Amino acid sequence: MSILIDRQTRLVVHGLTGREGSFHGGAMLDYGTNVVAGMTPGKGGQAALDGRVPVFDTVSDAVRETGANTSCIFVPAGGAPDSILEAVAAGIGTIFCITEGIPALDMVPVAAAVERAGARLIGPNCPGATSPGRAKVGIIPASIHREGSVGVVSRSGTLTYEAVQAMTDAGIGQSTCVGIGGDPIIGSTFLDVLRLFEADPETEAIVLIGEIGGAAEEEAAAWAAEHLADVPKVAFIAGRTAPEGKRMGHAGAIISGGSGTAASKVAALEAAGFRVAGSPTELPQLLRDAGYRG
């Protein structure tokens, strides 16, 4: 099994005819993801990716004609919130928003609307997800993955790539790798993804990659202490040298009022049974040390 995406995923790419959408849409299709539709207003009736994928004016048209059940959004920041809402209105159950730079105030009502509809949003400002050998949605490079049983969840795209490559090089494969995004307002949190991994019988170990700012890692650690006590689990926290009040990288990566520090996150994770790495390259050995034998 996998979480969020699999061979039954039927993907509609918002902005498929644009530069980013076309490039990454082609990579997703080449990987084997079932890209069934593109959506660009005014370009309905065309075909993208060398004629392999039909394009529709609206998401509802794409859903009606192709049975799309998952969205991947490559729409500029000004239009991305409406694009998420359009996917929700069309009945899409899982939405990945790759777009960065969406104002937090614009995302507050959108996140609430997604929750009310019972849909699931990953992002915004996220790299997407890959279930090796099944499907990939977003911008995570396909070549770094290996099929296996370690679930990876991360706030950082580039650190995800480094950690996954290190695991693959060490012969450790992944069940699903999820980038949740580093903005202050996101759809799915560490805790949400850990719950999905707990329910997946093929995920036998957990890698969590966090960073300074907020309390999402601490909340996930508290839940994991109770529900994942016997699961090998390791973590890495970026931003250990960041000064208070200085934003480091992501909009959500900021220490404020003494909270959200790397030290507080490391302490919470270690108390919950995570082995915390000093760098992403240490994660494979820590997984072995934690008892993972996959």
Look at residue 240 in the predicted model and tell me its pLDDT.
61
Cα 281 to Cα 285: distance, rounded to the nearest angstrom: 8
pLDDT confidence tier of residue 1, bands split at 50, 70 and 90: low
Report d(CA 136, CA 276) in Å as an integer: 27
Please identify which residue in the block is written with the tokens 């992002």.
123
* Residue percentage of the chain with pLDDT more than 90: 87
**pLDDT-based confidence at residue 58 (cuts at 50, 70, 90):** very high
Digit-coded pLDDT (tens) for 176-215: 999 999 899 999 999 999 999 999 999 999 999 999 888 8
- Predicted local distance difference test score (pLDDT) of residue 189: 97
Calpha distance 134→236 (Å, rounded): 26
**Structural domains of the chain in order of their starting residue, each with its CATH number:** 11-122 (3.40.50.720), 140-289 (3.40.50.261)
Report how far Cα 188 is from the mean position of its chain's Cα atoms.
Answer: 8
89 SS3 class: helix
Tokens of 179: 């980038």
pLDDT in tens, 241-294: 555 544 455 444 444 445 578 888 999 999 999 999 999 999 999 999 999 998
Q: What is the pLDDT of residue 243?
A: 52
pLDDT at 84: 98
| Mean pLDDT computed over 88-99 | 98
Packed helices 190-199 and 216-227: angle between N→C axes, nearest 10 degrees? 20
What does the pLDDT read at residue 198? 98
Quote the tokens at residue 39. Answer: 């959506």
* Amino acid letter for position 250: H
pLDDT in tens, 103-138: 999 999 999 999 999 999 999 999 999 999 999 999
Compute the distance between CA of residue 153 and CA of residue 169 in angstroms, rounded to an integer. 19
pLDDT given for residue 262 in this prediction = 86
Catalytic residue among 14, 24, 145, 250: 250
Q: Could you give the 3-state DSSP secondary structure of residue 252?
A: coil
d(CA 193, CA 176): 10
Q: Catalytic residue at 250?
A: yes
